[in-house]
Amino acid sequence: MRIGRIVGLALFLLFSASISFADETQDAAQSMVTTLGLGTNLGSLGLQAAKRMTTYAIIVRQLGEAKAEALVKEELGRVQPKYQKQWNDNLALSYAEFFEPAEMQSIASERQTSQHFAKFINKQPEVGQSMQGRSKDLLIAFVVDGMKGALTKVANEAQQGASGGSQKP
């Protein structure tokens, strides 16, 4: 009976230590992502993805390239806060796969002068691949949400134009 308690206690301590290490790793990754602004590419990636959609081509036909791009950027910017935290969380998880907490803390505070900066650069393809697998659905949801808003504005504008614009009482 006593051996069972000792084993149980050892397993509990081991489990608690691994949770603490996971929290420390995730905290360091979150800090690095935030400090370095690593998640700021959501908007530009969203725009790239939006431009490959049939919906974007429809908006371009209605408004022209410059106005279509401006409208889509505006709508993506409007919905981006809804998705940004999850994007940053996913990015932190991706970095945490490849870096120790001390490495991420060093990179966040020392940037290019960190002894781990070369590893940071060299691991970008792997981090990117991890992030792509982790965030593909999130990126799609973000783009679809933004494009719905853009298409709704185009449709409303077309409807107002067809009815002679807004009429004053």
Q: What is the reported pLDDT for 158?
A: 76
Query: What pLDDT is attached to residue 6?
Result: 57
Among 34, 53, 12, which residue's Cα sits nearest to residue 145?
53
Task: DSSP for 48-108, please give it.
Answer: HHHTTSHHHHHHHHHH-HHHHHHHHHHHHHHHHHHHHHHHHHHHHHHHHHH--HHHHHHHH
> In this predicted structure, what is the pLDDT of residue 21?
43
pLDDT in the model for residue 140? 97
Q: How does DSSP classify residue 38? A: G
33: left (phi over 0), alpha (psi -120 to 50) or beta: alpha
User: What length is written for the chain?
Assistant: 169
CA distance 93 to 30: 8
Question: Do residues 91 and 83 make contact, with C-beta atoms less than 8 angstroms apart?
Answer: no
Tokens of 158: 């077309």
pLDDT given for residue 24 in this prediction: 84
Mean pLDDT by runs of 10 across the 169 residues of the chain is 52 44 80 94 96 95 96 97 97 95 95 96 96 96 96 86 57
Which residue from 99, 112, 130, 80 is spatially nearest to 30, judged by alpha carbons?
99
Residue pointed to by tokens 């504005």: 153
